[in-house]
Structure 1
Amino acid sequence: MDRDGRTWKVGELARATGLTVRTLHHYEHIGVVPPSARTAAGHRVYDADDVRRLYRVVALRAFGLPLETIRLLLDGRLDLIGLLRDHAAHVDARLEALRVLRTRLGMVLRTAEETGDFAPDDLLSLIEGVSDVNDTMGRYFSEEQLGALRERREQRGEDAVAAEIAEWPRLIGLVQAEMDAGTDPADPRVRDLARRWTALLEAFHGGDPALRDSLYRMRAENSEEVRTSGGPSEEMIAYIGRATAAG
C-alpha cells in the first residue's frame, strides 16, 4: 500500500487506467485482479498492491499472453523466463506464417496488376495456383531451405524478385519461338537465351547445390503441372541444355 494508504473504487480505477469497469469486473471474476476489500455497502476497493498487480496484467497482456496464464504467473505458479521463452517461439512461428502469407499475397497482387483487370473467378484461380505452388514447394524443400530462400528474397529485394518472376514468361516465349523456327541450339541467339535461363535459376538457388537439386527434382516430378501452368516443357529444357553445352 502507498504511504497515504490511498484506495480506489472501481470507477476511479477504470478512469485512471483507461480500462472499462466491465473489464475490471471480469478480472475479478476470473481471479486475475480481485479487489483487496469491499466497503460496508459492498463496493469494491483496490489498494496500491492491487493497482500494481493490475498494471502487471496490462503489461503481460501487451505481450499477447492469455489471462489464465497471467493469473498463474502472478500467483507464482509459473516460471517467467520459461514462459516468455515459449511465448517468443510462438510469436516467431506466427510471424513466419504471416511472412509466408505476405509473400503469397504479393505474388497474386503483382500478377493481377501486371495483367490488368481480373474477373473474380480468374483471381480465385490465381490464388489457388499460388497456394498449390507453395504447398508443392513445402514437399520438396526443408524448413531450413525455405528459410534460406526467404532470406535470399529479403536480401535481393521485392523489386528484383518481381522482375525475375516477370522475366520467366518472356524468356520461355523467346525460347519457344526459336524452337518453332527450328533454330540450332548452338546458335548464338539460343546460347544467349540459355545464359539468361541459367542466371534466373541461379538467382533462385544462389549456387547452393542442395537448393538446386531440390528445385530440379520438384520440376522433374511435376513436369506436366509445370507445363500446364505456363512453365517450360521437357523438350524446352532439353533444348536449353543443348544450348548450354554448346556455349
Structure 2
Amino acid sequence: MAEERWSIGDLASASGVTLRTLYYYDEIGLVSASERTGAGHRRYTAADVQRLYRVRALTQLGLSLDEVATVLRSGAENLTALRDLLAAQLADLDVKARRINEVRQRVLGLVELLDGETMPEPERFLGTLEVTAQLHGHLSEQHWDALAARRAELGDDTVDALRAEWVTIVTELRRHLVNGTPARDSAVRELAGRWQRVAEAFRTGQPDLDERIQAAGEVVWRQHGARISEYVSDRAGWSAPGEMADIVDYVQRAMKS
C-alpha cells in the first residue's frame, strides 16, 4: 500500500495546529510538505507529520521556534544541544515561577487585608497599592529576582515563621512604647536585635544588591511612611495608624543605645 499523505487541511484537523501556523512553519522552513500534487497542493508525508509533532512537543516546553530549529538541525542523536537548551529553559522557568510567587504573595496579603474584621477605607487601600508600586519602581528585575530567590531558598515555612516572628516583635515593641519603656532598656534592645536578625535573614548574600535593596526601602519609607503605617495597622488591627512610624523610630533609638 502506498504511504498515506495528508493535505494541509487534513493535517490541521488531525494535529490541532491552525492552518495559519502550518503555513508559517512552511514559510520559515520548520515543517514543510515533502510533496506537491500536480496542481501544486501540499502533501505531508509520515515523516513530515512526525516532525510537526516534535516541533509541538518542544514548543510546549517553552522553547522558541529558533531553538526548536536548532535542536532539529542537530539531529536526534545529538542530545547535548537539547539538554543545554532545556537547562536554560528550566532556569528561566525558575525565575518566572519566583516572580509569580512574589505576585501571589502580594495579592494574598491584599485579599487578607480586605477579608479582615475591619474593611479599610478605599483611599487607604489604594494607598497600599501605591506604596507597592513605588517600591517596585525603585528596584530592578535583578533585585526582585534576587529577593525571590532568597525567599525560595528559605522556603515557605521559614518565611512564614519569620513574618510571624516580626509581628510578635512589633507587637511587643508597641507594648513597651505605650508603657513608656525607655529605648535603652535591655528588653527593648533585645527586641531590636531580633528585629534586625529577621531583616538579615532575607538578605541575598550579595552586598551590592543588599545595599541597593535597603536604600530603596529607606527611600520608600521616607516618602510613604504614613501609608505603610496605615497598612501595618490595618493588618494588626491597631486603632492608631501612626504607631508604626513611632515603633520604627523606637527601634532605631534602641539600636543606637
Fold conserved between structures, TM > 0.5: yes
For residues 127 and 220 of structure 1, what CA distance do their matches in structure 2 show?
A: 15
Change (3 A) 1:100 1:113: same
Corresponding residue of 1:203: 198
Q: Larger C-alpha radius of gyration, 1 or 2?
A: 1
Offset at residue 197 of structure 1 (A): 3.6
- The amino acid across from 1:241 in the alignment is M
Q: Which residue of 2 aligns with 1:89?
A: 88
What are the within-5 Å matches in structure 2 for residues 54-65 of structure 1?
Answer: 54-65=52-63
Paired amino acid for 1:43: H
Instruction: Give the TM-score normalised by structure 1.
Output: 0.66
2:254 paired with 1:240: yes
- 1:100 equivalent in structure 2: 99
2:236 corresponding residue in structure 1: none
Which 10-residue stretch deviates more, 19-28 or 230-239?
230-239
User: For the residues of structure 1 that align with 2:168 and 2:96, how far apart are their CA atoms?
Assistant: 28
> Which blocks of at least 5 consecutive residues in structure 2 are unaligned?
230-243
1:10 and 1:46 in contact (8 A); partners too = yes
Give the conservation status (yes or no) of the 8 Å contact 2:135–2:216: no
Q: Is the 8 A contact 1:104 1:130 kept in 2?
A: no
Q: Deviation at 1:45?
A: 1.2
Aligned-residue CA RMSD (Å): 4.4
Superposed CA offset, 1:55-93 (max 9, x none) = 22112211222334434553459x974576356435534
CA contact (8 A) 2:59 2:65 kept: yes
For 1:137 and 1:164, the matched residues in 2 are separated by 26
Using CA pairs below 8 Å that are at least 6 residues apart, which structure has the higher relative contact order? 2
Identify the residue that residue 72 of structure 2 maps to in structure 1.
Answer: 74
Question: For 1:133-152, what aligned pairs fall within 5 Å after superposition?
Answer: 133-134=135-136, 146=147, 149-152=150-153
Alpha-carbon distance in structure 2 between the residues aligned to 1:177 and 1:26: 70
Q: Which runs of 5+ in 1 are unaligned?
A: none
> Secondary structure of 1:7's partner?
coil
Q: CA deviation at 1:37?
A: 0.9
* Distance in 2, Cα, partners of 1:124 & 1:172: 28
The match for 1:109 is: 108
- Amino acid aligned to 2:53: Y
Note the C-alpha offset of 1:113: 1.7
Q: Equivalents in 2 of 1:92, 1:70: separation in Å?
A: 17
- Shift in Å, 1:111: 4.7
Deviation digits for residues 97-147 of structure 1, max 9, x if unmatched? 5423532442353255246434555434312323434555769x9789636
Q: Matched residues in 2 for 1:209 and 1:6: separation?
A: 59
Identity %: 25
